[in-house]
Structure 1
Amino acid sequence: MPKAKRIFVIADFKDEKPWSICIEERRLVKSLIRLGHDVQRFSHRNIMMQCSPFPSKRIARRFGRKKSNEVLLKQVKYYYPDIVIAFSMKYLDAETVRAMRELVPNAIFVGRDGDPFPEKFPARIATGKEMDIIIMPSAGRFLQIYKEAGVRCCAFIPFTCDPDIQYRFEVDDIWRTDMVFLGAAEHTRLDRNYERYELAKRMSELPNAKVYACFGRPKSQGMHSFYAISGAKIGLSINIANDVRLYHSDRFINIPACGTFCLAKRAPGYELLFEDEVHLKYFDTVDEFFELAEWYLKHEQQREKIAMAGMQRAHNEFNCEKIARHMLDLIETGAYEAPWAEIL
């Protein structure tokens, strides 16, 4: 894409929250600009909250949506983008996408769904059907759902890291620990993953481990998320679903990107992203995780060698600028070059 494009990005940028600093959407917008394109960002939920007379997010979706959609359509009309990317389709609906298409009939529309189990959100699938391209940090059955819904192009695009602010930090003692897990032990909208719950629960009870955002522990905020990872000798990566090809959360990239040795629950296709015992170490059961953790805590040289190789791999292959370039190649040509590329 040698010519600069006008790219309209719709997402929940969480502008009122300190963790907006480390979200995926921020990294990708930064990268699109670095690649020479003009980007107009629209933080859908924030605008919706501003348009609602009530502070509740749930109520705002009812009372603020109409006005926020009017603002959205007006911005699209006067920006006249070449590309519209909905990094979050949560607050969009199919009718609004069709209205945008009428305003910019030549634009390419891209939707991203980063959540597991899309079949549980039929309204989001209906919105996705209106897109030219759907991207997900998973392949397998999650991606197939959108293809079967009629989306022309469905592609796996992994989570990213930003080497500018993700590397191994020298941290204060408050962040230092043997093991760390960042994330909810379970999600209220989804069935409990008992392995993930048990791992987080057992770690929360250990004196040499820290957990964040579960079992009453506070969520890490902004750069503190990266400090928490950097301060640990071992980081735990486990998804809410671990049987779907290539599906992963941002932990899977964030942990090695911050120079911490990653113990990751194995999922189909993962060796295409990180090689076992080279960039990280995979485990299959809860007991195996703790056995491996004990071994690697006693073998610093092996642990550090893998951690450094993992950081280099994350920075080289999954840095946000490179992944944004893959996205643009996909939009321009319908394909991109990577050993883990999967396009339906």
Structure 2
Amino acid sequence: MKYYHSYRTHKISAYFFNPVDDELPEKYGHDFCKKTRDIVFTGSAYNFAGIERKDVIRYLLTRNDVNFFGGIENIVNANNIFHKIKRKFLSQGNRYNKRISGEEYVAVIKSAKIGIGVNAIQTVPRYTSDRLQHFMSFGTFFLQFYFPELEKFFNLKEEIVSFKSIYELEKYIDYYLKNPEQREKIARAGQCKILSCYNTKNITKMMLDIINTGNSTMFEWTDILS
């Protein structure tokens, strides 16, 4: 944000958390549907993805209980002919899937026991892909690769679970697949937090406060440069 502020002409720059529409879960059915997929990982194959994202994908490709959507797995196998043959064959069983959107995307999120999150860039404080908002707002348990200051948004291991290594990721996946009650308790708490706190109304109010007064007390993590 300091870089952005220094190269623009405005007087105030403020960080904000990507908001969620708290009416969407009700629109698409505010229920916890049957979980038919163990693990879901969605995203695009950005060629600038950091090593953390590539390492996570490499690990997930070794598991047989992961469904990929959007071609994200191609980050590490774009030029591997054996992977291309394997992908074509296994796509018939829904392991590898094309990019989806709208109701189909929501249905996939709600069908997952566990969603995995790892940003293209993991070192920027408070930055997260909106994948986190998508999964958590629809009540899916989310495992997020830790990014700096994540704990300012959520109570770790109560509303969201983070990992810092492939070892931790594997440990948490195996544990929470075997412990559905704990998994769903955390998922419900995370959904409640993100819908009640980080909805469009609250984030918009924060932005309007800053525009009108130059400050906001809406969230303790509000960061303003002026």
TM superposition score normalised by structure 1:
0.54
CA gap of 1:266–1:211, structure 2 versus 1, over 3 A, is same
Query: Aligned pair count?
Result: 197
> C-alpha separation between the residues in 1 aligned to 2:207 and 2:103?
26
Q: Which has the higher contact order (CA 8 A, sep 6+)?
A: 2
What's the counterpart of residue 157 of structure 1? 16
The match for 1:331 is: 211
Please identify the structure whose Cα radius of gyration is greater. Answer: 1
- Give the distance between the partners of 1:232 and 1:204, measured in 2 at CA: 17
Tell me: CA distance 1:169–1:208, structure 2 relative to 1, closer, same or farther (3 Å).
Answer: farther
The aligned residue for residue 252 of structure 1 is 132
* Correspondences of 1:269-284 after superposition (within 5 Å): 269-284=149-164
Structure 2 counterpart SS, 1:260: coil
Displacement after TM superposition at 1:201 (Å): 3.9
Gapped regions of structure 2 (runs ≥ 5):
75-95
Q: Offset of 1:285 from its aligned partner?
A: 0.9
The residue identity in structure 1 corresponding to 2:56 is L
2-structure distance, mates of 1:225, 1:327: 29
Q: 1:213 to 1:201 in 2, by over 3 A?
A: farther
How far apart in 1 are the matches of 2:109 and 2:135? 6
Which residue does 2:38 correspond to in 1?
A: 178
Confirm or deny: 8 A CA contact 1:234 1:263 kept in the other structure: yes
Task: Find out whether 1:208 has 2:65 as its counterpart.
Answer: yes
Percent of pairs identical after alignment? 26
What are the Cα deviations for residues 161-200 of structure 1, in whole angstroms up to 9, with x where unaligned? 1122136555577xx211111102x413x2x322212323
The TM-score with structure 2 as length reference comes to: 0.80
Contact 1:259 1:307 in 2 (8 A): yes
The alignment status of 1:262 with 2:142, answered yes or no, reads yes
SS in 1 for 2:25: coil
- Kindly report which structure 2 residues correspond to 1:110-129, keeping only aligned pairs within 5 A, or say none: none
| One-letter code aligned to 2:132 | F
CA distance in 2, matches of 1:249, 1:290: 21
Separation of aligned partners in 2, 1:293 and 1:224: 24
**SS of the residue 1:166 aligns to:** helix
1:230 aligns with one of 84, 107, 110: 110
Q: CA deviation at 1:207?
A: 2.9
- Structure 1 unaligned segments of length 5 or more: list them: 1-142
CA distance in 1, matches of 2:152, 2:194: 12
What is the distance in 2 between the residues matched to 1:242 and 1:169?
32
Letter in 2 for 1:179: I
Paired residue for 1:144? 2
Within the alignment, does 1:342 sit opposite 2:201 as a pair? Answer: no
Give the C-alpha shift of residue 323 in structure 1.
1.2
Give every structure 1 segment of 4 or more consecutive aligned residues whose post-TM-superposition deviation is greater than 2 Å. Answer: 166-173, 200-207
**SS of residue matched to 2:203:** helix
Which residue identity does 2:2 align to in structure 1?
A: Q
